Structure 1
Amino acid sequence: MTNNEARENCEKSEECETIAIWRIEDFSIEEHRRFRVISRLQLHRGQGSYREAEIQAAQELGLSVRSIKRLVRHYRESGIAGLKRQPRSDAGQLKLEPEWQEFIIKTYRQGNRGMRCLRRSQVAKLVELRAAELGESDYPSRRSVYRILAPEIARKEQESKKRSPGWSGEKLELRTKEGIEIKIDYSNQVWQCDHTLADIVVVDSHGEPLGRPTLTTVIDTYSRCVMGIHLGMERPSAAVTCLALRHSILPKQYRADYEPQKLWESYGVPRYLYSDAGSDLTSSHIDQIASRLGITLCLRRRPAEGGIVERPFGTFNSEFFSTLPGYTTAYAKPHLGQIKAEACLTLEQLDGLLVRYIVDNYNQQPDARSSQESRMARWKSGQMVAGPLLSDREVDILLMRQNRRRVYQGGYIRFANLLYRGEYLSGYAGEEVVLRYDPSDITTVWVYRQQGAEDVFLARAHAQNLETECLSLAEAKAISRRLRETQREITNESVLMEIRDRLRFVEQLRSTDELDLPESEETGQPPKKKPSSPLRLYDYDQLF
């Protein structure tokens, strides 16, 4: 070999090495190995040792000599790119009949509508059953079914990851299912209502677990202020929605033992009620209420647009329920027994704590998108015109729970195993009347008489011997169940004694805890007991 030929081969080798370094990221390890072998083979080009080098290259790459010749030809024609594996002309094309492809995709889509969930392995089983029905032995394999469904599953996962950017700034627009756009400009313009199971277990008055209560909230869209709530053991229904709306529409008044430091000043009647399409919010009863109160019902286009009313649930769980005994989550099923053992709050106690948290904490905090003022302050500043203040009777006739009962002689009515008596009811003995009541306190019910399409208010009826007590419907049922188990007669007196025994038992526990308190570190004396508040009696007629 002459010096010029050696110099040319060296330059070619250097050039090849430069190209290899420059293009290495574009090639696989196998293709880069081919390049090194073929470039080394080119050094023997035109020499007697080329045949032996060709055979050695074929052995090193595990190919035939004929394949090596083809690679060398591609390398000379296209350079290093000629060493890349050429894709098949039919790559990515499914070799299945269009009927089978259509059946697989259609089956998967139909099996994942609504709340249903059909996995791809189940689709493969259905394909096998379909082939058996048609008497075909040549049908798509499980791997083919997976390849067909791969783009569909990827698209579904991408859809699930889509999120709304939320609302920022001073303007918000809502779009209803009918395509109507609502610009949010003031308070009490649009309310949103929704339900959720509270992440906490409550107990009855004797400490027996009742389960997780349902929390219903009504949120003002403009200020994100909580307008009203309802906490109860009933599952979401039109009646539960009505109780939450009643609490939102009327001014709030609470007993002294709730002890909120601030005032829950939000009330009124909204112009729009914006909700999902659940049966608890789209029933004919809700339509009648909305028509009587002048509220326009609007449905959300998509579930993702309910973040305004659903976001507070997460805040309540993380900031409030998680700090209380009996807190539970969806991942706590293995520890449910321990959670129920730790639960000690009754529904009434939890309701009082929740009211105080909302009034003194949540509504006093600024919303993340309007950090200049609190939710309550924004609600007050956003009022255009103070709406009409409805009376309790106007709201009761529309929103309170109802039952039909017959009036006994003397003006007595029996409801929830309790005996009620109301003034002026003796003249309606034998007639059927309508009772409206609040499940959180059934010691007083409102009696109506149906005349045509309307109900006319007659009187209030009070549970005999329970006028100064507070008794929920759930607690009354629990007391009745225990009295039946002990084969005792269920009367107002027995229910009253049950309540008094329970209060006496709780008072003894409190006094025992106070006596067991350690001595103060500063004075060495046991801490003083907090004086109990004097007993106050109320005249129900004066209260209303």
Structure 2
Amino acid sequence: MKKEKKDLENKFLTSLPESSQSEIIRRYRIIEPFLKKIKKLKVICSEEKVSFRTLQSWISKYRKNGLIGLSRTKRSDEGKNRVYNEELQIIIEGIHLRNSHLSKASIYRKIEEFSKSKNMKCPSYKTICNIVTNIPKDLKTLAHEGTKAYKDKFDLLYIRESSLPNEIWQADHMLLDILLTCDGNKKINKPWLTIIIDDYSRGICGYELSFMAPSSKKTSLALRQGIWKKKESNWSICGIPSTLYTDHGSDFTSQHIEQVCIDLKIELIFSNVGMPRGRGKIERFFRTLNQLLISELDGFTGSKSPKAKLNLAELEILIHKFILKYNQSELDTINNDTPQNRWEKNGFLPRLPESIEQLDLLLFTSIRPRKIGRDGIKFQGLRYLDPILADYIGEDIIIRFDQNDLTSIRVFYNNTYLCQPVCVDLEKEAVSLKEIQSARNSKRLYLQNEIKNKLSLVDAILNSKQKITSIEINPKKTEKRIKLKLYESD
């Protein structure tokens, strides 16, 4: 009783649910005529159809604790099952959590045997079914599917939301579900697409498409396109982001990307290892690209008989057009606004590097220092020339280049941009490093096959000569002398 009184003293009428408050007021209205000496209890009993003892109890509680005393008192065993032992409930839940494949009938038989051995009353089959059904879903998921599945379904997520353009950029790679021809239609391969998206506007800032696997080089090329101004008038998204949000891939955690982010004053944030959460916006774009473009093209791997007809350059043209159209499309996620319009609202001015050369110095691949020769710069078997190099013959320089276009390279002297020499043989068309390497490999294989064929022919000739000479040198061994057989009579 003392404990119940303390609990009532600590309660206020406003702290109770509305249903409990209504019930307290109803009870007070019933006993109010008696408290005001208007009616007797027997009259109230007959009118309200409430027992005399119940009315006496309400009056006593009201006089001791006021209105709060008319609230329903909780049972001491509330929430506990009074039909079966609590220990049995724990055992039933434990059996199901340990063996998810066991049926409810199998659990009932096990509990029946256990109850007999302990001389306990066995719960009914329906009771066991109710216990198994009422096990919390998060507990079942953790026990049956493991920690990863539990975190994906029940962990509290912190979703990063930006309030301004270029506040957060997200970057990710995807292996596209399409087969492309490469190396002169001799090989068929899938391309990798790197995308950088602005979290606030959902606009695509930059991309990189190639057969090259995810690496810091791919990320650097996509960042370069995203940060610098575009040639297209309807693609104005650019600038240096405040934050770059990526997964924990080795390409993003590389020292090169980390150094780039430090130099450009970009905060680099990674998602948890093995749990790429909070990057649903970029994953949604990949899904949209796959549904609206990739699935409609020849070579889509989801079709019955995919045949590679497109090459990398043709696919890049299609993806470029798709991105421009996507940035001009109305999206439900941004209140039916377009990414381009949302990014440009309120006269937003992006933070840009001083020059494209400064950006190239940070992003492009650097080569070990080499000297400038009298005939120019030799790189990847090619020769690059520029009039400015005449004053720096014999000096050490650093080369930076675009993996997808070796037409020209960028030369830096003492960490300062010097010039952009051009390869005379390639200046008419863009040639990638991979194409040059592929051509070298093809030529080397061709020469190796030629050598192999010539050597095999020589070996065949030499072996045949050895056989001939061996026959001529030892003719006696091959000839058999036939002796005349004589008889006694001869």
Q: TM-score band (shorter)?
A: 0.5 to 0.7
Secondary structure of the 2:315 match is helix
Alignment of 1:481-492 (within 5 A): 481-487=441-447
**2:404 maps to 1:433:** no
- Cα shift readout 1:132-165 (whole Å, capped 9, x = no counterpart): xxxxxxxxxxxxxxxx999611565862762899
For the residues of structure 1 that align with 2:152 and 2:246, how far apart are their CA atoms?
23
For the residues of structure 1 that align with 2:445 and 2:145, how far apart are their CA atoms?
57
Counterparts in 2 of 1:478 and 1:405: CA distance versus 1, 3 Å: farther
| Aligned equivalent of 1:347, options 312, 315, 325 | 312
Counterparts in 2 of 1:92 and 1:156: CA distance versus 1, 3 Å: farther
For the residues of structure 2 that align with 1:150 and 1:386, how far apart are their CA atoms?
46
Counterparts in 2 of 1:429 and 1:94: CA distance versus 1, 3 Å: farther
For the residues of structure 2 that align with 1:382 and 1:307, how far apart are their CA atoms?
26
Counterparts in 2 of 1:89 and 1:446: CA distance versus 1, 3 Å: closer
Q: Which amino acid aligns with 1:162?
A: K
For the residues of structure 2 that align with 1:458 and 1:157, how far apart are their CA atoms?
52
1:324 offset after TM fit, Å?
1.6
2:182–2:189 Cα contact (<8 Å) kept: no
**2:228 maps to 1:228:** no
1:418 offset after TM fit, Å?
2.2
Length, aligned pairs only = 328
1:411–1:427 Cα contact (<8 Å) kept: no
Instruction: Give the match for residue 387 of structure 2.
Output: 423
Q: Which amino acid aligns with 1:466?
A: L
Alignment of 1:62-81 (within 5 A): none
% identical equivalent positions: 29
Alignment of 1:125-524 (within 5 A): 152-153=143-144, 159=150, 162=153, 174-175=159-160, 184-204=162-182, 206-253=184-231, 263-300=234-271, 303-329=276-302, 339=306, 342-359=307-324, 361-381=325-345, 383-388=347-352, 390-404=354-368, 406-407=370-371, 409-449=373-413, 451=414, 455-487=415-447
Q: Which amino acid aligns with 1:268?
A: G
- Cα shift readout 1:143-195 (whole Å, capped 9, x = no counterpart): xxxxx9996115658627628999xxxxxx845xxxxxxx5222111111111
Counterparts in 2 of 1:485 and 1:223: CA distance versus 1, 3 Å: same
For the residues of structure 2 that align with 1:164 and 1:441, how far apart are their CA atoms?
46
For the residues of structure 2 that align with 1:382 and 1:280, how far apart are their CA atoms?
35
1:389 offset after TM fit, Å?
5.4
1:89 offset after TM fit, Å?
7.9
Counterparts in 2 of 1:349 and 1:165: CA distance versus 1, 3 Å: farther
Secondary structure of the 1:184 match is coil
For the residues of structure 2 that align with 1:150 and 1:271, how far apart are their CA atoms?
38
For the residues of structure 2 that align with 1:164 and 1:362, how far apart are their CA atoms?
33
Structure 2 stretches lacking a partner, 5+ long: 1-82, 102-138, 449-490
Higher alpha-carbon deviation: 153-162 or 439-448: 153-162
Counterparts in 2 of 1:316 and 1:149: CA distance versus 1, 3 Å: closer
Secondary structure of the 2:220 match is helix
2:406–2:433 Cα contact (<8 Å) kept: yes
**Structure 1 length-normalised TM:** 0.53
Secondary structure of the 1:244 match is helix
Instruction: Give the match for residue 38 of structure 2.
Output: none
2:411–2:417 Cα contact (<8 Å) kept: yes
For the residues of structure 1 that align with 2:346 and 2:312, how far apart are their CA atoms?
34
Aligned residues: CA RMSD: 3.8
For the residues of structure 1 that align with 2:391 and 2:235, how far apart are their CA atoms?
41
Counterparts in 2 of 1:364 and 1:425: CA distance versus 1, 3 Å: same
- Cα shift readout 1:359-402 (whole Å, capped 9, x = no counterpart): 1x211112221233211111111553343454110100001122
**Structure 2 length-normalised TM:** 0.59
Say which one has the larger Rg.
2
2:194–2:219 Cα contact (<8 Å) kept: yes
2:228–2:352 Cα contact (<8 Å) kept: no
- Cα shift readout 1:92-144 (whole Å, capped 9, x = no counterpart): 6669xx9xx9xx99xx9xxxxxxxxxx99xxxxxxxxxxxxxxxxxxxxxxxx
Secondary structure of the 1:478 match is helix
For the residues of structure 1 that align with 2:297 and 2:264, how far apart are their CA atoms?
38
2:197–2:203 Cα contact (<8 Å) kept: yes
Secondary structure of the 1:482 match is helix
- Cα shift readout 1:17-68 (whole Å, capped 9, x = no counterpart): xxxxxxxxxxxxxxxxxxxxxxxxxxxxxxxxxxxxxxxxxxxxxxxxxxxx
Secondary structure of the 1:239 match is helix
Counterparts in 2 of 1:89 and 1:274: CA distance versus 1, 3 Å: closer
1:272–1:298 Cα contact (<8 Å) kept: yes
1:411–1:423 Cα contact (<8 Å) kept: no
Secondary structure of the 2:443 match is helix
1:404–1:432 Cα contact (<8 Å) kept: no
1:198–1:215 Cα contact (<8 Å) kept: yes
Counterparts in 2 of 1:476 and 1:382: CA distance versus 1, 3 Å: farther
Secondary structure of the 2:388 match is coil
